[in-house]
Chains A and B, each alone.
Chain A
């Protein structure tokens, strides 16, 4: 080595040095001192110690994905419906104040038999119970009953109270549903009073048929939901109604907007109108959903250029809109109708006051002034009486009073009922709301269960997705609330069942839509090699070679020592 560099640097000195080169090349380098060997060993060991005790844990820690443990099997069982078969036992109180106890007991027993014979859908059945406390049975009114389920923990909710009363001058029994309470009055001719001996008295059959008719829509709806939307009678109408209604949400935003193409009306008595016409309904809905209300007035709101203009109809003496053009009525691009408030869906209710030159405006086909846009909201055309303007033309009034808002808000209330999926029968609002509670409980139970199943499958199919601890706790909350929903349903406490189903649903959604669960970078293995090799190659090769050398030396030393001892 040195001779070669010597050649280059000083060619004159080469002659003097050639004599030395040969013996030097054969000369062995001086043996390393034990201290140097020791130091080298220590250096290599230090490098490896850093790699093993610092580098490796850090690499492991920073590249591993935290996956909390989830009860996969339980979740899948819920989704498959193995854990819970939802049942809907409705408790119906029968009060027969004028009858003797054995007679009324017999009536209840035979009616129950007749009911059981009529019922085709086992999950939804009516249980009759005799109450003699007539005072109490008349007392509970509609919305009390709707909210009662939340507070009553022990007994099942009373779905309906049937009062059986004799009435003179009747040929056949007759029923009357009190529209504002949950009470069904049955009047029967005294001659048809049930006799304990008869096994199938006509009065029992009549009551059973009445009850069956009352709950037929609810039964069909629940059957439709539980079967996953394929089976059940009236499947088409029910699925149409379900399609029209909003997806369940814990909170709905109601947005009331006044749109007008001109400058008037520029104010409306909205606060009082909401308070007066809408809040009773919202209060009745309290156990099902929460609501927030926003209102706005938008002046100079034009139709979009694509919308066909209304046509004047001589026969109706009104401006008419064609039914097929109604879907283009809302100028989605320019009317500020998509407020981004909170997390819940928004239901839009639009009060449109047409320009005086186009007033009154109606729908051509049936002279209606309102329509529902499925899953979105409703529109109402308000044609206020026109005032004479000073310049001779006609103008809209500048202010819309509470009284003239009444028809609009009544219609909005109806649209709200429809959009929230309230069943159309029976003809009593408290009963319909109760029915909605059961339908919603069934929907939420199924949707939360299926979300659990989705999450379970997702966890198994995507090993690269992280699962934070909050998801695990949400899942356990969901599962516990699902089972309490199930037991509440079995006990007939539908209000309580809905309350826990709401929690289960929101927790299930939260766990599925957890923000940090985005497995966005899938690396194929060749990519991993490409990432690690440039980094680990230059460092890894010297380290590995030195480790091997050192090991070889140790093994050689160990062998030499053994030979020397042998």
Chain B
């Protein structure tokens, strides 16, 4: 019995150690609106409000992937050109002059979204369009649009199923592309979207249950359409009024407790079971674990002398530089008089960094163009032959 107890103790100790090291090193946010057209103004405003909040709490633009399928600011119907507001008081221009949209217009597709999550992108895709998260990253995924039972519509043309989303997160987990993931979705029947998730460390929350609609909050009479959805509005209200700084200690539990069904008009849902430790543990995560950014800047103490400190490294690097210079001189003295003049120069580079060649235009897919032409020619020839033969035979018959 005592042995068993000790074993338990050891196990709990191990667990504690594990928990102590479970700390994330970077934050990423993927904010997706999936609907187009002017009357869906509120979906873009939802996303832009979230974008503003995560930026305010410290996630840099390079770690925010913003997907906007339409450009409301420049829509001809917009009475306030160049701006997007999520509130009828029009206090905060969400579009501002400092916004980086990574996927815009028809780039927002199911395929691109899944490729983004799983990083199965072409090599040429710029880094600003990639989710560069790793095993230490906390990822916030926020989606909004029109959805239904276990699907979310993208751009009126296609839809993403709850299965596809679950598989994408599953692959992210397999490749260690997140540490913890907070999935938020504001759409009709939103809670059905996270029912198929199976990979661990995910907290999911949605705006409405199966067979429930998710409603807009209010309309701006001058803009002419609804400007924000209810659930997002109250989430934002919590984030804006209570999470005022990046050092906020408010937890996810506080955020989810702030849901008020009488205000939201639908039943928001939370899924904890994928999170290690379940609801109890998950509730303790702070809001800024997902909405903020960790960046522990390390100042180098110029006076410290412990191993690996700046001073010691500088001495070693200086020695290395010195040695290289000596080797340079030896090398050129071996080469003899011809390079004597060169070694006199202060910088006689022996380490040639690869010089860049200017890239010119090249013809793509040059190979096999003649072969293709030949194939085309023979196909045309065969067709003509068949036609001629047919017409001759037809006449004789």
Contacts and interface: CB of A to CB of B under 8 A. Distances in A.
26 contacts: A243-B136, A275-B347, A275-B349, A275-B353, A279-B349, A280-B321, A280-B323, A280-B351, A282-B353, A327-B296, A328-B58, A338-B128, A368-B299, A370-B300, A371-B298, A372-B298, A414-B313, A414-B317, A418-B308, A429-B319, A454-B174, A513-B120, A513-B121, A517-B120, A518-B111, A519-B167
A182 B134 CA distance: 35
B167 A522 contact: yes
Interface string A93-106: 00000000000000
Interface in A430-478: 450-451, 454, 457-458, 461-462
B33 interface: no
B329 interface: no
Size class of the A contact interface (CB-based, 8 Å): 35 or more
B279 interface: no
A373 B164 contact: no
Contact of A374 (B14, B295, B308, B320): B295
Interface in B293-346: 295-303, 306-310, 312-321, 323-324
B263 interface: no
Interface stretch (A58-66, A359-367, A490-498): A359-367
A374 B25 contact: yes
A375 B137 CA distance: 12
Nearest to B318: A410
Contact of A514 (B111, B120, B132, B303): B120
B62 interface: yes
B295 A373 contact: yes
Nearest to A407: B314
A35 interface: no
Nearest to B99: A333
A239 interface: yes
Given A410-B317, A414-B313, A272 B61 contact: no
Given A427-B307, A429-B316, A461-B170, A374 B298 contact: yes
Contact of A365 (B26, B175, B299, B312): B299
A328 B58 CA distance: 8
A153 B111 CA distance: 47
Nearest to A291: B353
B119 interface: yes
B362 interface: no
Report the contact-size class of chain B (Cβ under 8 Å from the partner): 35 or more
Contacts of A282: 351, 353
Interface of A: 141-143, 179-180, 229-230, 235-236, 239, 243-244, 247, 272, 274-277, 279-284, 292-293, 323, 326-328, 332-334, 337-338, 340, 343, 345-346, 363, 365-375, 410-411, 413-415, 417-418, 423-429, 450-451, 454, 457-458, 461-462, 512-515, 517-522, 524
Contact of B14 (A230, A417, A426): A230
A462 B171 CA distance: 10
Given A340-B126, A521-B164, A323 B297 contact: yes
Interface in B23-81: 23, 25-26, 58, 60-62
A140 to B, nearest CB: 13
Given A277-B321, A522-B161, A524-B163, A373 B118 contact: no
B160 to A, nearest CB: 8
Interface string B341-369: 00000010101011000000000000000
B218 interface: no
B61 A333 contact: yes
A513 B306 CA distance: 42
A327 B164 contact: no
Considering the complex of A and B, which 9 residue pairs feature the smallest CB-CB distances, nearest first? A424-B308, A340-B126, A332-B60, A454-B174, A279-B351, A414-B313, A522-B163, A280-B324, A327-B295
Given A275-B351, A410-B314, A521-B164, A373 B297 contact: yes
A81 B136 CA distance: 23
Contacts of A333: 60-61, 98, 100
Nearest to A426: B307
A411 B314 contact: yes
B26 A375 contact: yes
B298 to A, nearest CB: 5
Contacts of B265: none
A79 to B, nearest CB: 11
Contacts of B314: 410-411, 413-414
Contacts of B115: 515, 518
Nearest to B247: A324
Given A229-B21, A230-B21, A425-B308, A366 B301 contact: yes
Contacts of B121: 513, 515
B397 interface: no
Given A243-B136, A244-B298, A323-B297, A338 B25 contact: no
B122 interface: yes
Contact of A180 (B60, B323, B353): B323
B351 to A, nearest CB: 4
Contacts of B89: none
A293 B315 CA distance: 24
Contact of B317 (A143, A239, A413, A424): A413
